Amino acid sequence: MKYYGTKNNKDYGFYEENFDGAIEITDSYWIELLDAQNNGKRIIHYENNVIAVDETQYSFENNEWKKLTKDEAQVKQLKLQNAIRANEIQTQLDELDNKRIRALAEPSLKDDETTWLEYYNNQIINLRNELTTITK
């Protein structure tokens, strides 16, 4: 048997010994929880149980976990996806800035009508517009 709980009222974990407020779990369920955690789930104390959850389905408010409604979960998932995309855009902008510096130093045409600098500037404008849209 394993025990899940907190001894300091903030850090939860698994223990070999029982203590006040701990939740008893079987060794096989403990292994299932660890497998779920290895696959991206989070182990939480919820309604006097220990469960592994997708963090977009729950929210930690006022020192307790709350199951989100379908709409709340979708909003949380969208915020997470937007944060990831914003980070990707920032990386792309940094790379394009380096390319623009080279385009200034070595002016040449990408095609018959467009310089490399104009090409990179257009890409940057599109990325900044997308970034503005997802960070509102």
What is the overall mean pLDDT for the chain?
90
At 29, phi and psi to the nearest 5? -70, -35
Q: For the chain, give the number of residues.
A: 136
Structure tokens at 99: 């390319």
Q: pLDDT tens, 90-125? A: 999 999 999 998 888 877 888 888 999 999 999 999
User: CA-to-CA distance for 120 and 89, rounded, in angstroms?
Assistant: 14
Report the pLDDT value the prediction gives residue 65, as an integer from 0 to 100. 85
User: CA-to-CA distance for 72 and 58, rounded, in angstroms?
Assistant: 9
With b for 16 or more beta-carbon neighbours within 10 A and e for fewer, the 113-135 pattern comes to eeebbebbeebbeebeeebeeee
